[in-house]
A = this chain, B = another copy of it.
Amino acid sequence: MPRLDAQRWVALKEQWPALSPPQRVRAFRELAHLDAEDLFQQLSAEQQRDLLLTMPVGERRFWIRTLAPDDAADYIQAAPEDSRGEWLALLDETTRPEVVALLAYKEDEAGGLMNPRCARLRPDMRVDEAISYLRRQALGQEGTFYYAYVLDSQQRLLGVISVRELFAAPAERIVADVMRTNIVTLTAHTDQEDVSRIFAEHGLLALPVVDADGRLAGVVAADDVMDVMWEEATEDIQRLGGTRPLGEAYLEMPLRRMIAHRGGWLAALLFGEMLTASAMARFQDDIARSVALALFVPLIISSGGNSGSQATTLVIRAMALGEVRLRHWWMVLSREMLSGLALGFLLGAIGLARILAWQGMFGSYGEHGMQLAAIVGLSLIGIVLWGSVSGAMLPFLLRSVGMDPATASAPLVATVVDVTGIIIYFTVARAIL
C-alpha cells in the first residue's frame, strides 16, 4: 500500500471524526503499516479504545502491543474495572508486569506518568560501544530516547547524557567522563503539580524517577507533563471561578452533571451570603433613618470583593508557581497591608469625590451629603484593606490545614468580605452620623 502524503493526511484527519466505528476500522486497515502506526499513536486514549473495541481480537492484540507501557497503563486504568483482566491478557509477557506495576501508582503522581523503559548505559563503556548498545536497545523500545541514563550494576543512577552529547563525544572516551552528574530526579510519589513545576523550572525534555536507594524506576517525558499542565491550569481556573472542576469538555458535558458541578458551590455561597441579610438587619434602623445609606452598600461590598479577588488570585498563582510558600505568610501579609491601604486610599478618594460632586450638582443626598461622603470614603479604605488582607490570607489558611489553596475562589473571598464589609460600613456610619 502506498504511503500517504501530507495532503491525504489532512483529508483523512478531517474525515475521521465523521466516520462510524466500522468505517474507521476499514479506513485504518487501508493504510500502509507505518502510517497506521502513526495514526494510532496520535489518537486520544478514548479514540484508541473505540477503535480497538471494534476490531477482532487478533488485531486488537497487535495494536495494544504497539503502545508504550505508560500509555497502555493509562488506557487500562480508564477501562471498566471488570474488563481490565481481559485487556492485560492481550499484552506480551514483558510488558504485562510493567503495566501491572504502573497501575499501582496514582494517576496524579510521577509513578503514574513515568515510562519504565528508557535508554540505559554503563559508566565504563566507551562512547562508540555505547552508541551500538543504544542501537540494540532501540528495537521494541517504546521508551524515552532523548537522554541515556548511566547506571551501576545495582541499577543506581550515576549520570545522564543526551544522545546528541553522546554523538558529539570522542569515540574512545568512556561514558563516565562525558556524562552529566548534575541530575534532577523525581520519586514515584512526587505530585504531578510539582512534576510540572520542576520541568518548567529546569527546561528539560525528560526527568528520571528514582527509588529511595537511588535506583532508576522510569522516566517522565515532557509530552506527558504538558497534558498535566493544561489539566492542572484548567482545574485551578475553574476552582477560582467558583466551580467544582468539570473534568471534561464544556460543550460535551451532560447538562445535568454541569449543573451539579456548579450548583453545589452556588448554594454554599448563597448560604454564606444569607449572613449579609442578618448583618444588615442589625442596622435596619439606621437605614430607615437615612435611606441614602443603603444606596452605597453594593458599591462598598463589591469593592471589598474585587480587592479580595485580586489578592487571592495573585497568592494562589504564586503558590502554584512555587514562588510563595507557607513560611512567607508574614511577607505576604505586610505587602497586602501596604498595597491594600494604598488601593483603599485611591478608591476612597474616588468615592468621596463622586458623592461630593453629585451632592454639589444635584443635592442628591439631602442634608447628610457631607457626612455620607466621609462615610463612603472611610469605609472604602477599611474595606479594600480588609479585602486584600483576607483574600491573601485565605489560601494560607487553607493550605495550612492541608486543603488545596485554589479552593479559595474569587466568589468565596467575595462572600467572606461582603459580610464583614457591611459591618465595617454601618459601624463607620454610626460613628459619623
What CA separation (Å) do A182 and B303 show in the bound complex?
53
Closest Cβ of chain B to A235, distance in Å, is: 10
Contact A303 B263 (CB under 8 A): no
Q: Which residue of B lies closest to A319 (CB)?
A: B250
Q: How far, in angstroms, from A14 to B276 measured CA to CA in the complex?
A: 50
Nearest B residue to A325, CB-CB: B251
Taking a contact as CB atoms closer than 8 A, the residue among B255, B273, B303, B418 that contacts A338 in the complex is B255
- Verify if A204 is at the interface (C-beta below 8 Å from B): yes
A296 within 8 A of B: yes
Interface presence of A310 (CB below 8 A)? yes
The answer to whether B270 touches A323 (Cβ under 8 A) is: no
Contacts A242-B306, A266-B346, A291-B288 given; indicate if A203 touches B223 (C-beta within 8 A).
yes
A205-B178 contact given A141-B164, A302-B415, CB 8 Å threshold: no
Q: Which of chain B's residues have a CB closer than 8 A to the CB of A246?
A: 314
**In the bound complex, CA of A342 to CA of B259 (Å):** 7
Closest residue of chain B to A147, judged by CB? B146
Whether the Cβ atoms of B250 and A315 lie closer than 8 Å is yes
Interface residue? A414 (CB, 8 A)? yes
Say yes or no: is A432 at the interface (Cβ < 8 Å to chain B).
Answer: no
Interface of A is mostly: helix
CB of A69 within 8 Å of the partner chain? no
User: Are B418 and A364 in contact (CB-based, < 8 A)?
Assistant: no
Instruction: Check A287 against B277 for contact (C-beta < 8 Å).
Output: no
Residues of B within 8 A of A236 (CB): 233, 237
CA distance A32 to B204 in the complex (A): 22
Is B298 a contact partner of A297 (Cβ separation < 8 A)?
A: yes
Measured CB to CB, the closest approach of chain B to A32, in angstroms, equals 10
Give CA–CA (A237, B312) in the complex, Å. Answer: 11
Within 8 A of B (CB), among A324-364: 324, 328, 331-332, 335, 338-339, 342-343, 346-347, 350-351, 354, 364
**Are A241 and B163 CB-contacts (below 8 A) given A205-B221, A266-B306, A302-B273?**
no
A48 to B290, CA, bound (A): 64
Per-residue B-contact encoding for A199-212, CB less than 8 Å = 1, 0 else: 11011110000000
Chain B, Cβ-Cβ closest to A256: B342
A344's nearest neighbour on chain B, judged by CB, is B266
Known: A145-B162, A295-B284, A346-B263. A181 touches B242 (CB 8 A): no
Identify the closest chain B residue to A197 (Cβ): B230
Asked whether A294 and B280 contact (CB < 8 A) given A164-B141, A411-B410, the answer is yes
The answer to whether A250 and B205 touch across the interface, beta carbons within 8 angstroms, is no
Q: Are B203 and A224 in contact (CB under 8 A)?
A: yes
Determine the chain B residues whose CB is within 8 A of the CB of A373 once the complex forms: none
Q: Kindly supply a per-residue 1/0 record for chain A positions 226-242, scoring 1 wherever the CB is within 8 Å of any chain B CB and 0 otherwise.
A: 11011001101110111
Determine whether the beta carbon of A237 is less than 8 Å from that of B313: yes
Which residues of chain A in 213-228 are interfacial with respect to chain B, using CB atoms and an 8 Å cutoff? Answer: 221-227
- A39-B182, A238-B314 are contacts. A250–B324 as well, Cβ < 8 Å? yes
| Contact partners of A410 in chain B: CB under 8 A | 240-242, 309, 410-411
Q: 3 closest A-B pairs (Cβ-Cβ)?
A: A241-B313, A138-B167, A145-B164
* A interface residues with partner B (beta carbon < 8 Å): 3-6, 9, 34-35, 38-39, 42, 131, 134-135, 137-141, 143, 145-146, 162-165, 167-168, 178, 180-183, 196, 199-200, 202-205, 221-227, 229-230, 233-234, 236-238, 240-243, 246, 249-252, 255, 258-259, 262-263, 265-267, 269-271, 273-274, 276-277, 280-281, 284, 287-288, 291-292, 294-299, 301-303, 305-307, 309-310, 312-318, 321, 323-324, 328, 331-332, 335, 338-339, 342-343, 346-347, 350-351, 354, 364, 384, 410-411, 414-415, 418, 422
